[in-house]
Amino acid sequence: MAIFNKSIGIRHLVCGSCNGCEHEMNALAGPDYDITQHGWDIVASPRHADVVTVTGPMTEAMRVPAQRTLEAVPGPKVIVAIGDCAVGCGVFAGSAGVGAGACVELGATIAVPGCPPTPSMIKAGLLRAAQALGGPSQPAARDDSMSGSTKVGSTRCTSERAG
C-alpha cells in the first residue's frame, strides 16, 4: 500500500472565487500538468477525497455548503487554500461583502498564494498535501493523519510561495 500513499483524491470547493483560480486548476487535467501521472485525481464526491482545495474570499451563501462538504470528507484530510482571495482576500481584503478568506474560515493548513497561482504552483501545493497525508518526508504530518484529526476550525495557515 505504501506506493499509494501519495495518490490523493482532490475535491474542489469554490467559495466566491472569480473563476481565475478555476481556469488554472483546470489546467491540471490537461497534458502539460497532467496530475493523473502522480495517481492524483479530481474526484466527483467529497466521500472519495483526501484533499480539499478551496478558492475565494468566502461568501455568505457558501459557508454552510463548504462546511458540509468538509464534514463529508473522511479523515485524514488536508485543506489547501488556492489563490490570494482564499489566502487573505487579495484585492477584496477589507471589503464588507466578503468573508475572511476561505483559508482562515475553513482552516486550511497549506496556502498557495497568487492571483491566480500558476498550475505549477498549485501542483507544488498539492504535493505538500500529499506529503502531509502519507509521505515519509513529513513524519509530524503523518502523526496528524494517523490520529484522524481534521484541523477544521484551525486558523493556522502556512504561506509559502511554491515553485
Partner 1 sequence: MIKGEIEVGPAAVRTAVAERLEHGSALGAYASDRGVRYLFIEKHGVQVLSARVDSSEPVAAVSGTCPGLSWDEREMADEFGIAFDALPDARPFRPVNGELAPAVVATGPGVTQVVVGPVHAGIIEPGRFTFSSGGETIAHLDFQIGFSHRHLEQSFEGADPLDLAPRVARVCGACSASRSLAYAMAVESISDARIADPVHIARQIVVELERVYNHVFDLAVCSAAAGWGFGQAVGLGLKECALRICHAATGHRLLFDAIVPGGVRDGVLDDREEVQTLVVMLQESVEQYVRAIFDNTSLISRWSETGTLTYDAARALAVVGPAHRASGGLVDVRDAAPYGAYRWLPIVAAREEGGDVLARCRVKVAELRDSFRIIHRAFEHLGSRRLNRSAVIPPETGDTVTVVEGPRGAETVALTVRGTVVERVHFISASYRNWPAVAHATTGNIVPDAPLVNKSFNLCYACADR
Residues that bind partner 1 (CB under 8 A): 12-27, 29-32, 42-46, 56-57, 59-66, 69, 90-92, 95-98, 115-116, 118
Nearer to partner 1, 61 or 146 (CB): 61
DSSP strands (E only) in the chain:
9-14, 41-42, 51-55, 78-82, 110-112, 158-159
Write down the least CB distance from residue 140 to partner 1, Å: 30
Q: Which residues pair with 42 in a beta bridge?
A: 10
Write down the least CB distance from residue 107 to partner 1, Å: 17
Nearer to partner 1, 145 or 150 (CB): 150
Write down the least CB distance from residue 25 to partner 1, Å: 5
**Is the peptide bond prior to 57 cis by the omega test (within 30 degrees of 0)?**
no
Contact 41, 115 (CB under 8 A): no
